[in-house]
A and B are shown apart, each in its own frame.
Chain A
């Protein structure tokens, strides 16, 4: 495939079958390899879509400074696009993220403001909103509430999935901003009667839930529970186990959040087998494992990996 430039090559990712992990010829798993995007994650779609929407409505003009709370991937995607398009980028990122992420952000020219580890992305969002209020000329694209995030998946990921897998019965993705699930979910529900839309939400260590009070909780503005069929919470042990199985059995080297998604997908596959139903279950490979090698998830025992991930934002 030939493209005019790197940004034009976002999307159109392969969908590959998992012949070994699929439980039967009637119940099949399919991985959408979003790590094949330009900066190596699904977030290239949302980042480019949000930037283009802001350019189109005049919010973003040449030389602007973009501000964004991120645990890594969206920031990295924005940093690449900002560099090519001539914007400055400031990311608010929790301290408890892997060093690969801050290193990549700096390489693409982004400035990083650290937010406290306790509270995780919640704190990053809070700090970014404060900074945004103090700097009204900076543009916060705000992935948790920007419809262009979900729209990237409604226009791109969803139609790609349906074209490659017209027999799709289930779609499984991670729940962060909720953009992938809302966008793909809406598109697929409109086009595939009876489809199930399933969320896999990473369950972190206690530090990440360290709010001062419950009123500081957060539900992304993009989230509409009616789009989902159900939602699972997946802890680090299952996420790491599945991440390793995906590499060992299918050769796919994915990040840890993908392991959480695969865990939910396998649960659904097992239910379909038990019910004697056929199923084509597509799930998102959010990114490759490269940025998480330093977390300890990829070597040693599961106990060691689980302990190493405690307190880290692993997805």
Chain B
């Protein structure tokens, strides 16, 4: 089992167009490092100086990682990680 990571349209240039990819790691940071090993350049789009970029939202099983410890959030096999750009919501 691995962790499934959904990639937003804007970052699919790094994943050869794949909407979702598999990765491994016990923390979000480790998952991002694993992504970087397969898709060079992607980590820099997600992380800046050790924390998530302002306009990047990442969710583990639909919960915002910023409330789960950010980069240090724990991830387990079978979890879903979703990456989305931060956009204005309906109002």
Contacts and interface: CB of A to CB of B under 8 A. Distances in A.
A binds B: yes
Contacts of A228: 67
Given A120-B87, A121-B91, A210-B9, A215 B55 contact: yes
A73 interface: yes
B82 A233 contact: yes
A188 interface: no
A210 to B, nearest CB: 6
B90 A217 contact: no
Given A214-B10, A218-B55, A230 B90 contact: no
Interface in B6-36: 8-10
Nearest to B11: A214
A229 B67 contact: yes
Nearest to B65: A231
A197 B66 CA distance: 15
B9 A73 contact: no
Interface residues of B, number: 25
A202 B90 CA distance: 9
B38 interface: no
Contacts of B89: 121, 174-177, 201-202, 220, 315
A171 B67 CA distance: 16
B67 A231 contact: yes
A71 B91 CA distance: 5
A217 B91 contact: no
Nearest to B85: A217
A73 B89 CA distance: 12
A203 interface: yes
Given A214-B55, A217-B85, A217-B86, A43 B91 contact: yes
Given A214-B45, A230-B67, A231-B63, A121 B8 contact: no
A206 interface: yes
B62 A233 contact: yes
A214 B85 contact: yes
Interface string A92-131: 0000000000000000000000000001111011000000
Given A217-B54, A232-B62, A206 B9 contact: yes
Contacts of B82: 203, 233
A298 B31 CA distance: 39
Given A203-B84, A209-B10, A72 B90 contact: yes
Pick the 8 closest A-B CB pairs, nearest first. A217-B55, A176-B89, A71-B90, A121-B88, A231-B64, A176-B91, A230-B67, A217-B86
12 contacts: A74-B91, A121-B90, A124-B88, A199-B64, A203-B82, A209-B8, A212-B10, A214-B10, A218-B88, A220-B88, A228-B67, A313-B90
